[in-house]
Amino acid sequence: MKIFKRTSSVWVMGIAVLATSCSPKFTEEDKGDHTLVNNIGGKTLGYNKTSGVKLLTVDQYAFKDLNKDGKLDAYEDWRLSADDRAIDLAHKMSLEDIAGLMLYSSHQSIPARGSRFGPVTYNGKPFEESGAMASDLSDGQKQFLNEDHVRHVLVTSVENPSVAAQWNNNAQAYVEGLGLGIPVNTSSDPRHGSDSYAEFNAGAGGDISMWPGTLGIAASFDPGLMRQFGEIASEEYRALGISTALSPQIDLGTEPRWSRFSGTMGEDPDLATDMARAYVDGFQSSGKDQGWGYQSVNAMVKHWPGGGPEEGGRDGHFGYGAYAVYPGNNLMDHLKPFTEGAFKLEGSTKMASAVMPYYTISFGRDKKNGDNVGNAFNQYLITDLLRGQYGYDGVVCTDWGVTRDVTAVDLFEGKSWGVETMTVAERHYKVIEAGVDQFGGNNDMGPVLEAYRLGVADHGELFMRQRYETSAVRLLKNIFRVGLFENPYLEVAETEKIVGNPEFMKAGYDAQLRSIVMLKNQKNTLPIKTRQKVYVPQRYIAASKNWFGMETPEKTEYPFNMEVLAKYFEVVYNPKDADFALVGIQSPDGGVGYDREDLAKGGNGYVPISLQYAPYSAMDARATSLAGGSPLEDFTNRSYKDKTITSSNVTDMKMVNDTKKEMGTKPVIVIVNISKPMVFSEVEVNASAIVVHMGVQDQALMDIISGAAEPSALLPFQMPADMKTVEEQFEDVPRDMRPYVDSEGSSYDFAFGLNWKGVIDDARVSKYK
C-alpha cells in the first residue's frame, strides 16, 4: 500500500483551488482490476486506471474525476447529498444520456449463451466458439451500454458468484470510461429459492443461501424473519454486484386462482403490510443508523396498485388476463402493503426506492379520466394517486415489455393493454405523461427520444427537458445512495466468502423449517420414528408447455430426493413391506383460463381455472364477465360459465387415493407443494397426515416428518371448501371464501396450523386473525 502526496491545482465547483502540501488523508491500494482509495474518515473509492479516470485532491481528500474535465463537479463530491449530486449530474446529461438512463435492460445471463430473444455473440461468435471468459461482456451488452447509454441491467442466471463479481468489475470499468462515468446499477428478480434436492450440512456453504419464497416466509407470521432474510439477501446481492432488487412482490393474494399467487405474501392486508415493511427495511437499511450505504439494496416493490384481483385468476402477462376487477370495490386493501408498509419503513431510508406497476388494466379505478389502460399508462393511478395522494417521489419503472406490440391475447409478446393501437413511440410518451420514469425490458433508446419529440410538439422544449431531468434525478439518487459512484467494484475473494456462507445457509434452512404448515395429524401420526420402513410412490408428470412455448416431455419420477430420504427412513418398494407411505404431490394445475381449442370449436377461448384435480364444470361462474373490450377480440364477454376443465396433474389425486388402498390401515402421509390455494376434499380423507410447503429442501420436510423439528407455520391464506365458493368470492376481497373443514373437524382457514400439541393458538394468531 502506498500513501500519495499531491500538490496540484484542482477545480472545485468550477473554481481553481491550489491543493496544499499537507499529507493527503487517503491511501491507494492496487486490487488488480481496480484501485481502491481509502479516504480516512470519508468515503472509500474504487476506479480502474485504464478507464481514463484520474483522482482529484481537494482538502486533502481524494475524489474521482468521472467526466475527466480536471475539476471537481458537484456530482463527483461525495461530501454532498445524493439529491444535490443527482440534480447537478442531470443538468450535465445529454438527452441521449437521460434516455439511456430511463431504460432497464432485457434479461441478461452471465455468460450469455443465446436465448429465445435471439443469438448472443462475443467478438462476433457464439460464446462457446469465442474464447471469451464467462465474465466478459457480450457484444450486445457493450452495445446497449455504449450506444444506447443503458445503465440499469437485469441479470438473471450467473455461472457462479465469482463470475458474477468479475462481470460486475468488467462492466463498471467499461462504463467508467464512457461520458460522465455513470456506473451500472445491476438488478435481479428474487434468486434465493430452495433447491428441493439439495442437502443441507451444518457448516457447509453453497452458491447462495436458500430460503422459502416470500409466501413461505409469510407463513411464519413473523416479520422479524422476513427482515432477517432481507438483511442477509442484501449482503449477498451486493457481493454479487446487485444493487437493486426487483422485489418484493406485495400484491395481495385475494384471487386464489392467480398463477402468481405463490410470489405474494398471502391474502391478508395486515400480514402482507408488516411483511412488506420488514422486507424493504432489511434490503435498504445499512449501518448503525439503518440508512443508505454500501450494504443497501434498492427495493422495487411490485405491483402498483396491486396485481392480485385478476378476473377469473387469469394473469396479466397475456391479453386474456389484462383486467384486474373490483367487484367488492376494494382497491384500498390492495394499496395498504404499499402505503402503510413499503412507504412507512422503520429504518431511515423511509420508503421503498422504486415501484413497479403491474401489466393489468385496473378496470374502472380511474376516477378522474375513466381511462381503462394498463397501470403504467394511467396518469390517475401514477401521478394523482401514487405521487399526489400518497406523496411518493421515488422511481416508477414499468414492468417488462409494456410498450411492445402484441398480436394475440394468448401469445407472450408485448403487454400494451389498453393502448394496443398506439405506436411504440406513442406508448412511451403516454407512460412518461402518466408520471413513470423508466421502461423495463427495453435496451433501445430510440423510442424514448421519439417520445421526447412528441412531447416537445405538445409542451415545448423547456417543459420536456425538465420532465426528463425529473426522472433522471430520481433514477440517479438510487445509484448515488448505494455508493456506486464512489466504489462500484468488488473483490472476488470477498464475494466467495460472503455469498452462501455457512451462517447464511443455516439461517435460510431454519427459515424453511419455520415455513412448513401441518394441516392434519390424525391420531398423532407424526412425528414418525426414524428408520421405519417407508414406501414412496413415483409421481407422473404430464407433458407441458411453459409461457414461452417450450415443451417439457412427460416423465415419471420420485417426488423426493431418495438419498436424503434414506438417511431418515428405510426405503422399501412394496407397500406391503412398509410401515407408512410418503406421498409427494403438487397443488392442482388447473390451467391458465384460456384455450385455443375452445376458440376453434366456436367458443370465446375462455375456460375456468380449477383449484381441484378432478374435472370441474363452472356452473356457478358469472354469465357475463366484469371486464372486456380488447381490440384483439371482437366480443366483450369473457365468461367461461358451464365450461369444463381437468387439472393436468389429476394423477396426483389418483396417486394419493391408490396409495391409501394399497396401504390399508397403515399411515399415509401426504406432502403438498402449494403454489396457490386448493380444494382438499379430493385427497384429505385418505391422508393420515398432511404437510404443506411453499418451496423447501426435501431435507427440511424430513426433519419435520421425523420430529427433528416441530411444525410452527400457519396458513397465510384460506383453503376453499369447493369450487363453488371460489366462483362466488370477489377477486379483490381477502378471506371471503368458505374454508375446507376436514374429517378431523379442522377448518383450513387463514392462520390455521398444527404443532405436535394440536391447533396453534398463540400471539400470532391473535394479532392477525
Please state the separation of Cα 87 from the chain's center in Å: 30
Q: Which amino acid is at 314?
A: R
Catalytic pick among 399, 437, 698, 749: 399
* Burial label, 549 (beta-carbon count in 10 A; 0-12, 13-18, 19+): exposed
Please state the separation of Cα 453 from the chain's center in Å: 34
Distance CA 303, CA 399 (A): 8
Distance CA 151, CA 139 (A): 16
Q: Is 268 a catalytic residue?
A: yes
- Helix, strand, coil shares of the chain as percentages rounded to 5? 30, 20, 50
Q: How many CA atoms lie within 13 A of 226 on its CB side?
A: 28
Which triple of cell numbers denotes residue 511? 427459515
Distance CA 451, CA 453 (A): 5
Distance CA 43, CA 85 (A): 15
Cα 328-331-335 angle, rounded to 5 deg: 145
Which triple of cell numbers denotes residue 1? 500500500
671 forms bridges with which residues in the sheet? 584, 691
Cα 690-695-701 angle, rounded to 5 deg: 50
C-alpha distances in Å from residue 567, one per residue of 199, 205, 210, 392, 530: 11, 20, 21, 53, 9
Catalytic pick among 73, 88, 268, 698: 268
Q: Give which of 468, 444, 522 is closest to 686, Cα–Cα.
A: 522
Which triple of cell numbers denotes residue 475? 433514477
Q: How many CA atoms lie within 13 A of 507 on its CB side?
A: 19
Interacting residues of 391 by C-beta distance below 8 A, sequence separation 6+: none
Label each residue of 381-434 as H, E or C: HHHHHHHHHCCCCCEEECCCCCCCCCCCCCCCCCCCCCCCCCCHHHHHHHHHHH
Q: Which phi and psi angles does 15 have, rounded to 5°?
A: -110, 130
Which uninterrupted H or E stretch holds 450?
helix 446-459
Please state the separation of Cα 503 from the chain's center in Å: 24
Distance CA 599, CA 135 (A): 47
CA 690, 694, 700, 704 dihedral sign is negative
590 forms bridges with which residues in the sheet? 610
Distance CA 226, CA 217 (A): 6
Q: Which phi and psi angles does 236 have, rounded to 5°?
A: -70, -40
Instruction: Give the three-state DSSP class for 340.
Output: helix
Q: Which amino acid is at 350?
A: K
Alpha helices (H) in 55-121, listed in sequence order: 82-92, 95-101
Whether 337 and 349 have beta carbons less than 8 Å apart is answered as no
Q: Which amino acid is at 569?
A: F
Label each residue of 73-89 as H, E or C: CHHHCCCCCHHHHHHHH
Euclidean distance between the first and the last CA atom of the chain, given in angstroms as a whole number: 60
Whether 674 and 717 have beta carbons less than 8 Å apart is answered as no
Distance CA 498, CA 492 (A): 10
Instruction: Give the three-state DSSP class for 319.
Output: helix
Neighbours of 722 (CB within 10 A): 17
Which triple of cell numbers denotes residue 462? 423547456
CA 247, 252, 253, 257 dihedral sign is negative
Which residue numbers are catalytic? 268, 399
